[in-house]
Amino acid sequence: MIGSFRDNSSVAAKADRRAVVDIGSNSVRLVVYDGPSRAPLAICNEKSLCGLGRDMTAEGDLNPAAVVDARVTLARFRQLLKEYGDPPTYAIATSAIREANDGEAFVADLRREFGFDVSIISGAEEAALAAYGVISFEPEATGVAGDMGGGSLELVSLDKSAVAETVSLPIGPLSIMRRVGDNVREARLLIEKELDQAQFLKKKKYDTLYSVGGAWRAIARINMRLRSYPLPVLHHYEISSQDVKDTCELIARQSRRSLEEIPGIPRRRLDTLPYAAVVMQSVLERMNAKKVVVSAGGVREGLLYRVLSDEEREADPFIAACRFYAGRLSPNPAFGETVMTVVEPLFSADKARARLRYACYVLMDIGAFFHPDLRGRHAFDTAMWVPFVSVSHKERIWLALALFSRYQGRSSVFPNEEAISLLDEEAQRVAVQFGLALRFVASFSPKIGAPLEGCRLDFEPGEPGKLIFRAPPERRAMMAETPRKRLDALAAAFNAIPVEAYE
């Protein structure tokens, strides 16, 4: 089973640099991506909250001051892209530009002045791209993807990553404020009326809302702080629907001064946040959703996903990212594949974690170039903080604990014990056992695959059980003091006696 993760290695390893310029109703953003095509990694991510959709003129034109801010921002972006070697760049404009009377003229000026070939995308296309972004980061996603922009809300129903129905509604916070001012009661009525167009929400078919967009991510950050959540990684942060609704209700009742006291929220988002919260509340109630899953994938990532080949789309983005980091941090990235043949017989019954174990094999030497005292912590922090996608928080923590144990052994003190406590005792125990198995094999044959040919680890139940290391007779000389101590530690983790069998 675990061998299936090897199939797309050549596709997953393909890497190139590309960029997206996203001219939205609230923000103007540049993201430059590098890394594997199936798991793009942002190496430059800049935005300016220009507010093109804020305070539009009575004639329906873009805010002149915001246009000036946007031009200054885009001039910088053009210079940055030049310094990055002018990678292939996709430039899009969304709700505010497509609704403004002078939107097309503004885009024409940008083409002439900066050379950005900006596409004004329709609401339907924006919804489809948001869905692609979620699918790119969450293969097999089933639920409703909701992308809260400044001017519009895109909703898409997903069934195992197949796009079913889409709708684009003019209820982004800036649009709401233009229509009802600061009247929250009127805003609620407007939101409910617009949501009537999203008939698929009433079917109550989907129990998960995949949350996309800066305003809704800000709500998730606030929820994290309220819960004192120990792993502040937004992607795949899961929250119960009721918990989110309570947070939204709290935000909707707060004054601007109260919101200013919450760290991490841009000041220019403060007046729009209560409206984004009311929209989220209403969507969750319409869906009768059970949970919200925050997705870091949105329109920009959807643009990159849309141009991939079918073969590239089939690649696992989590494994692709693991290979990318191993290729840069490990002295012998292929070593883990050999270790797998030795260790996997010991854990093969645990099919649910096969993908996680494969990721550990790939990443098992990412601490090699660091000081020995810091290798465990480096490996732990890499697993915890690298922008992996298509992996849950608990899976990320399991990976980090296994890699820490691979370097540090069976420790009584772990980094970030609050985060580790999110795993149940069984998951923690198996992560440590697996890490100790990697630690033993890495000491028996450090970063060299050939001496491991014909070797394997087995467990034989009994009273007591036996942890057996089998190897060809000519490998007996490889079993020195350090590997023997680590075999003993591995056996102890299984409450077994260690046995060496050279046959």
Q: Averaged over 92-99, what is the pLDDT?
A: 93
The DSSP string of 317-341 is HHHHHHHHHHHHH-S-TTHHHHHHH
Q: Which residues contact 22 (CB under 8 A, 6 or more apart)?
A: 28, 29, 30, 31, 92, 94, 299, 300
Report the C-alpha gap between 287 and 463 in whole angstroms: 54
Q: Tell whether the model's pLDDT for residue 396 goes beyond 70.
A: yes
- Count the helix, strand and coil residues of the chain and give each as a percent rounded to the nearest 5: 50, 15, 30
Residue 470 is classified by DSSP as: E
330-353 pLDDT per residue, tens: 999 999 999 999 999 999 999 999
263-306 pLDDT per residue, tens: 666 666 678 889 999 999 999 999 999 999 999 999 999 999 99
pLDDT at 266: 65
292 and 221 Cβ atoms separated by less than 8 Å: no
Q: Averaged over 463-471, what is the pLDDT?
A: 95
Give the confidence band of 214 by pLDDT, cuts at 50, 70, 90: confident
Domain 2-120, CATH: 3.30.420.40
Which homologous superfamily is 317-502 in? Hypothetical protein af1432 (1.10.3210.10)
What are the φ and ψ backbone dihedral angles of 29, each rounded to 5 degrees?
A: -130, 145
Q: Averaged over 80-84, what is the pLDDT?
A: 96
Q: What is the mean pLDDT of the chain?
A: 92
Give the confidence band of 242 by pLDDT, cuts at 50, 70, 90: very high
Report the C-alpha gap between 391 and 382 in whole angstroms: 14
Give the confidence band of 360 by pLDDT, cuts at 50, 70, 90: very high
Encoding tokens for residue 136?
A: 């790119």
> CA dihedral in degrees (454, 455, 457, 458; nearest 10)?
40
206 and 157 Cβ atoms separated by less than 8 Å: yes
Stretch among 90-104, 242-256, 415-429 having the lowest mean pLDDT: 242-256
Q: Tell whether the model's pLDDT for residue 90 goes beyond 50.
A: yes
Q: Tell whether the model's pLDDT for residue 7 goes beyond 70.
A: no
Encoding tokens for residue 88?
A: 């292939």
Based on its alpha-carbon atoms, the radius of gyration of the chain, rounded to whole angstroms, reads 26
Q: Where are the domains of the chain?
A: 2-120, 124-301, 317-502
477-491 pLDDT per residue, tens: 999 999 999 999 999
162-210 pLDDT per residue, tens: 888 999 999 999 899 989 888 888 999 999 999 999 999 988 789 999 9
pLDDT at 58: 82
Greater model confidence, 231 or 253: 231
43-70 pLDDT per residue, tens: 999 999 998 988 888 888 999 999 999 9
pLDDT at 13: 47
pLDDT at 85: 94
pLDDT at 16: 82
Q: Averaged over 228-241, what is the pLDDT?
A: 95
Q: Averaged over 369-381, what is the pLDDT?
A: 95
Q: Which residues contact 351 (CB under 8 A, 6 or more apart)?
A: 1
Q: Averaged over 432-459, what is the pLDDT?
A: 96
Q: Tell whether the model's pLDDT for residue 156 goes beyond 70.
A: yes
Report the C-alpha gap between 110 and 115 in whole angstroms: 7
What are the φ and ψ backbone dihedral angles of 472, each rounded to 5 degrees?
A: -60, 150
**124-301 and 317-502 have identical folds:** no
Strand positions, DSSP E, 136-276? 143-148, 153-159, 162-169, 208-212, 238-240
Q: Tell whether the model's pLDDT for residue 12 goes beyond 60.
A: no
pLDDT at 3: 59
With left for phi above 0 and alpha for psi between -120 and 50, is residue 315 left, alpha or beta?
Answer: beta
CATH 3.30.420.150 is held by the domain 124-301: yes
Residue among 151, 54, 84, 71 at smallest CA distance from 116: 71
